[in-house]
Structure 1
């Protein structure tokens, strides 16, 4: 947005020209005044020179008369010397003055100061000067003849003195007449010039005053016209500002709001006084400090001409921002506002930033509702897909285990705990239950469950790291438990709806058609729920044809899919092998425990054991990592063995992590044996992984295994060879 200045320049061109003419008139008058002043100064100088010459001529006569009257006095007497010196000086002065007026040369007075003598230009003045010079030319030689021998006692200068004296009587009078005539001519010229100056000055002042009156008249008229235009423009602007539904205002470089803004802005921002206020002060406490600082930087970049406006607009921190009420508290009057910033240019310079504010609360709430419905429908599709692709027995076990985990966590939360030891034990127990639940959900690709569990784990991890615990710290977990319970109820309801009975002859065909129609319905119309009366499927069959009454062979397929899912997320390749797992019957009392231990062992092997393909190949290993899962059973025990051909346990890394976490000093860790280091590896919250993600790094998996084994009075054996393999052997008593 740019503002053109061409029209403004055209409007002021007449004013500029009028002022220039006015100044030119004053300048001409001043120039004439300066010129006439110099002429008057010249005439004054001529009068002074003429008077000086006349006075010197009178002085010459007096000196000659004095010398004539003092004949007989010794020529070297002080009186004689003084008079002769004065006579000589006056003679020289008269010569310089008359010659200077004729040629305009400089005159050096008796004090040695230079004086410029103006040259005569008027004919009458020159004629008067010529008369004086003529008489002086008669007198001057006689005076010089006298002075040549007057100071010599051997020379009689009385005759020369007498001749000079007699000539002076005549010439001095004539010289005085000529010089008086010259002075009169100069006076007349000066008077004439003075009259001319006065006349021109009077006319000039009259002209200037008249011009000023005319200028003021037209200027005031133009000013009135301009005021009327401005007033009309202001009224139009006010009418626009009064009627627009969005908030409009200008913002300067210091984030100060302009004096003019739309009326709607007050209602949108929720503040009465905005004109002249600082934008940052208006927003302070109503948006986050981070957004406020980002806004300052954003406006600063908008004023940077080297930054493209379209590029910086993508960084707008006030796009659909939540603006709290004036008190800064959450409330019903909070709203979502969308601020749009545009540059305002003057020529090529960025003058202001135009801000357009809209209340987009309704649109944002609609988006949120649609997004929530979309998420719910996506979740239902995800759950429906899981139900159709996973053995029904596993689904039922997951629902049962989820509710069991939630019940356990609820019971743990109900136990208040008093000491730090009890609170830490409470925290670790909840962490194990949540991690177990997340493991089963992740294995089934139920990302809705996984996300809620991961968020809960983030809070649990923060509690582990905060040090001192209190009972109130656990209150925030209740929301996650409610969400998980709601999801488990949803998947249970979907399973029940799909599991409704149909005639045996058409069971499989109708089930398939019903499920396809159900998915299409959820995808096409996300605000519709499943209709129990139109969806039928027999969950005793699935895509793999596994019967629920068979042995527990379905677990192997479940583990293989789980291992591949984790490997894909971790950027690895694995192959899960098992020769004896499918041939072993798991006691009913250990099924959930075996399943849980298998999930955690597999996760640990893929995340921590198996290397990425490029690393494996660099050490001479095949790109695909091998994991062997075996299970043996005898009359007393059930033994689970998991071995991977990965990098093995790095005991030195365990030492470094223990020191970094501040659990032990370097001296203490240096004394630990491998068995003691393994014990730390099984402790809650300890992991050698740098960063936690969905699959690992929280230090809970091995803690869960140890808790499960302890619960059944079993034992754990770990064997590892660095760079080659790790083997876990879990022994669980059947009784």
Structure 2
């Protein structure tokens, strides 16, 4: 680029010098014109000044004759005073003007008030001025002698007036002749200057015109040669641009696309006209507004010489970006395009940005397909790991509960509901079922289930906050239910395959498991008939003969669940139970006991147990303790969950009710502890600032309340601030 720049400088150096010389000639001619115009103006002022002196001299003589004829009149009369004043002014004016004319001084014109510098006269004009000045020097003292006592009635000034009048008779004629000669000399001199100026201007214009003709002839020929070279270079560039199969174009600082670009760019971008268009206008509507703003900032950084190109390239927002409607004709199809940006330098300055764009849709789609298959494989492995490491009875319970939750949510969705009250009740019911399902999946470390349920909860939470609901708002949940059902089918199918391979020896069992996994990947979508029939109640339990271990595994299940939540929350917990492994829970209460236990354990870890640093500061053991006990009093099953955490802060609940807008500050202050507990169990209310996988949506306690009501049970809460919280759930057997 540096060589090309030097060549261009040499090529245009002659043109620049010629233009500079041409402008210099014009400037010199204009300067000369301005100067001569100033001379003419000064001569004109000189002529005006000489005429003014002659007119003033005539006025002086006239006033002297007037005073002489009026002698004896009262000197204080208006007539005498006016003539004396005029005589004094004209006398002073003549004295000043003659000196200025003779010495080339400055004068002020009465018409415009501007001051002018008079040219200094010489030769015969100087002699005429001196002659006029000599006569004025004879007349002016006599006038001043008369004016000295002219208006004093006690002094006789007739002699002075007589002498002034007599001298004026002699001097006036000589002064007029001298000033007339001066005027003629100045006029002739001005006329000579005007002729000279006119001649020089004509010659100057002729020279400039001749130089212009030579300049045009010479440089037109040079431009033709340059145009021919540029045309040849442009033809070569066009041949390259029409041949390459990638999109190439240049961007300036204003993000305007250059006039030259590869022909493939039109097909890649999907526009017929791109040259000269603004890059942001081409992208607007095809990528998100956020990406568009980021692109503008990214290109600005490319033009920043202090930023390294490799560093800023890593921030490229158009790396494999989806461009909507990126086909010729503006249809709705989209492509993945990859934009590469490179700086183009001139010497050491960044002149342009070279953009290379490629259609990488096939590669991206292949990556997406591979990623999807990888995710499915990971999901299959995750489910298989859960099946192999969790008691089969718990897996069966999860599959059975999942189907029930999905079926219940599906029935709720089918329920029409028209009023806002019905729609809100419908929303709360679905929210409870989804949260319960997510809790069980999270406890089993089935992250695929948890992710789908969490996404569904996000949509439910948005619906809960939007205010006005309609039936169509619930349609988006059908996709999540279908995904959950497919995952449930998959885990059920994997369980059946492992069950079929159980009687085999260790080595064949391993082989069969691998084969089963591969087959399940191929048949990732299992028919609903398999799930509807369900896994036989004894298929995983009876065939593997592990009924005796179910209760112990249930305790381990709850302990692992509590520790997982604690790890995510940055806490440490220990779950204890003396009765869970010894207690036979009636079949009809196993599901509610499990769901309530999961929600209470989550609530204890998230809201009850403090972080180790907080517990240590308050004198507690860094590891929090949770007790989970199940008792049978004959007619009911009593579930007790107690933690040694921070207890229920009723004032915090009161403040959250006020700040969330549920209650005014005054109304919140009037609530009793029972009222505050009732709000704590209401749907959508949580004291947690930010929602995450483990809490903060205000659904967990709502689920417990709904389960207790459904099974005609009772709920008792006891808490001591800073010490403990205890939930006691009583569910009747009948």
Q: Taking structure 1 as the reference length, what is the TM-score of the superposition?
A: 0.70
Cα pair distance change 1:548/1:17, threshold 3 Å: same
1:207-226 pair list within 5 angstroms = 219=219, 222-226=222-226
1:239 alignment counterpart: 239
1:364 alignment counterpart: 364
Cα pair distance change 1:635/1:218, threshold 3 Å: same
Cα pair distance change 1:262/1:541, threshold 3 Å: farther
Aligned residue for 2:129, secondary structure, equals coil
2:493 alignment counterpart: 493
d(CA) in 2 for partners of 1:660 and 1:592?
A: 36
1:640 aligns with 2:658: no
1:462 alignment counterpart: 462
1:449 alignment counterpart: 449
2:566 alignment counterpart: 567
Contact 1:3 1:344 in 2 (8 A): no
1:400 aligns with 2:400: yes
Aligned residue for 1:582, secondary structure, equals coil
d(CA) in 2 for partners of 1:22 and 1:409?
A: 90
Cα shift readout 1:472-521 (whole Å, capped 9, x = no counterpart): 1101100000000011111111111122146x5x53343245547878x7
Contact 1:391 1:546 in 2 (8 A): no
d(CA) in 2 for partners of 1:354 and 1:488?
A: 52
Cα pair distance change 1:399/1:213, threshold 3 Å: same
Aligned residue for 2:337, secondary structure, equals strand
Provide structure 1 residue ranges, at least 5 long, that are not aligned to the other structure.
38-92, 94-103, 115-193, 531-537
1:715 alignment counterpart: 714
Cα pair distance change 1:597/1:10, threshold 3 Å: same
Contact 1:572 1:613 in 2 (8 A): yes
1:75-154 pair list within 5 angstroms = 108-112=126-130
d(CA) in 2 for partners of 1:329 and 1:694?
A: 45
2:148 alignment counterpart: none
d(CA) in 2 for partners of 1:662 and 1:625?
A: 33
d(CA) in 2 for partners of 1:311 and 1:673?
A: 60
d(CA) in 1 for partners of 2:205 and 2:677?
A: 110
2:49 alignment counterpart: none
Give how far 1:217 is off.
6.8
1:511 alignment counterpart: 509
Cα pair distance change 1:208/1:409, threshold 3 Å: closer
Contact 2:326 2:333 in 1 (8 A): no
d(CA) in 2 for partners of 1:235 and 1:632?
A: 92
1:583 aligns with 2:601: no
Give how far 1:463 is off.
0.7
Give how far 1:529 is off.
8.0
d(CA) in 2 for partners of 1:314 and 1:113?
A: 95
Give how far 1:626 is off.
0.5
2:675 alignment counterpart: 676
Contact 2:501 2:509 in 1 (8 A): no
Cα shift readout 1:111-151 (whole Å, capped 9, x = no counterpart): 1599xxxxxxxxxxxxxxxxxxxxxxxxxxxxxxxxxxxxx
Q: Which has the larger radius of gyration?
A: 1
1:150-549 pair list within 5 angstroms = 219=219, 222-325=222-325, 333-501=333-501, 504=503, 506-512=504-510, 514-515=512-513, 547-549=546-548
Aligned residue for 2:547, secondary structure, equals coil
Provide structure 2 residue ranges, at least 5 long, that are not aligned to the other structure.
37-101, 103-121, 133-195, 526-538
Cα pair distance change 1:4/1:398, threshold 3 Å: farther
d(CA) in 2 for partners of 1:294 and 1:361?
A: 22
d(CA) in 2 for partners of 1:390 and 1:2?
A: 72
Cα shift readout 1:205-238 (whole Å, capped 9, x = no counterpart): 9999999998777645543432222111101110
Cα shift readout 1:375-417 (whole Å, capped 9, x = no counterpart): 1111001111111111111111111111110000000000010
Give how far 1:355 is off.
2.0
d(CA) in 2 for partners of 1:276 and 1:207?
A: 43
Contact 1:377 1:527 in 2 (8 A): no
2:135 alignment counterpart: none
d(CA) in 2 for partners of 1:591 and 1:724?
A: 30
Cα shift readout 1:600-627 (whole Å, capped 9, x = no counterpart): 1110000110011111101111110001
Contact 2:269 2:328 in 1 (8 A): no
Give how far 1:243 is off.
1.2
d(CA) in 2 for partners of 1:297 and 1:376?
A: 38
Aligned residues, how many?
Answer: 570
Contact 2:642 2:725 in 1 (8 A): yes
Q: Taking structure 2 as the reference length, what is the TM-score of the superposition?
A: 0.70
Cα pair distance change 1:263/1:541, threshold 3 Å: farther
Aligned residue for 1:356, secondary structure, equals strand
Give how far 1:313 is off.
2.7
Cα shift readout 1:644-676 (whole Å, capped 9, x = no counterpart): 000000101101111122111111111111111
Cα pair distance change 1:575/1:3, threshold 3 Å: farther
1:552 alignment counterpart: 551
Contact 1:716 1:729 in 2 (8 A): yes
Cα pair distance change 1:285/1:20, threshold 3 Å: closer
d(CA) in 2 for partners of 1:340 and 1:359?
A: 12
Q: CA RMSD in A?
A: 3.9
d(CA) in 2 for partners of 1:719 and 1:231?
A: 91
Give how far 1:456 is off.
0.3
